[in-house]
Amino acid sequence: MADEFPAGSVWLVGAGPGDPDLLTRKAERLLRTATIVFYDALVGEDVLALIPASVRRVPVGKRAGRHSKAQGTINELLVAAAQAGERVVRLKGGDPSIFGRSMEECSTLVQAGVPVRICPGITAASAAAASAGVSLSLRGLARRVQFATAHKLGDAPLDLDWVALADPHCTTVFYMGRSAAAEISRNLTAAGLSGATPVLVACDVSLASERLLHTRLDLLHIAISAFSNDQPTLILVGEALAVGGSMQIAASGLSSPRDGLPQSNSPVRKVDLPPTLFASKRL
């Protein structure tokens, strides 16, 4: 392990979506070998509990509207800790390389002469699909999967290629999508995607507080109101999301599909909303 994690080096570690059982064995090993861990706000308490008491824990998380540390400051802290001879873990929610600003931190560390490596984690999109019993890709319906960030500065519009994102043969996942739900719905529809396109809204993925809601694109702006502004929320869009979940629900006996689209088969709490929020059968 000393060769894998020498003093004065940094590992960017993916914490996964929140459930500690979804952490990789390598990530857990690195957490136990580190001397200091800088962690994000979205890293769950159960994951943090895996860090030995002897290891220093430093919160550097950023949440929308509540930035505790600027990115430049985080970069400096990582460099300083490594140069002081620490074995440094930078613990990030999900996968460090998916909207985790990993290259900004890696570039700073490399420029300072600090060895840095990345340990991947399960990204929230994969965990959400698994919880809902659906697939992100599906032969004949979704030949591609694309990820986009819906994070924006203030009231500025999302600067995205909406035509590309509106591909009907693709599953598109919007990270940090809560505040931009209406804009996502409006722009995808304007770019040609059917308003009846299935949508899965997921928050607190893989945690005990997880909530999943199946709706449709033209009702997304209404459905999103069921989720708190403070809850990290994913919005998944695409035809593949309507396939698979209903079969698992029928097998588990949890509930039956409504109006042709599966509801969540997750054993955790579901969202109770009027039937009009769920997609109807297409003619």
Q: Maximum Cα–Cα distance for the chain, whole Å?
A: 66
For residue 192, count CB atoms less than 10 angstroms from its CB and return exposed for 0-12, middle for 13-18, buried for 19 or more: exposed
Task: Give the strand pairing for 36-39 and 56-59.
Answer: parallel
User: Which active-site residues does the annotation give?
Assistant: 40, 62, 176
Phi, psi of 10 (to 5 degrees): -130, 135
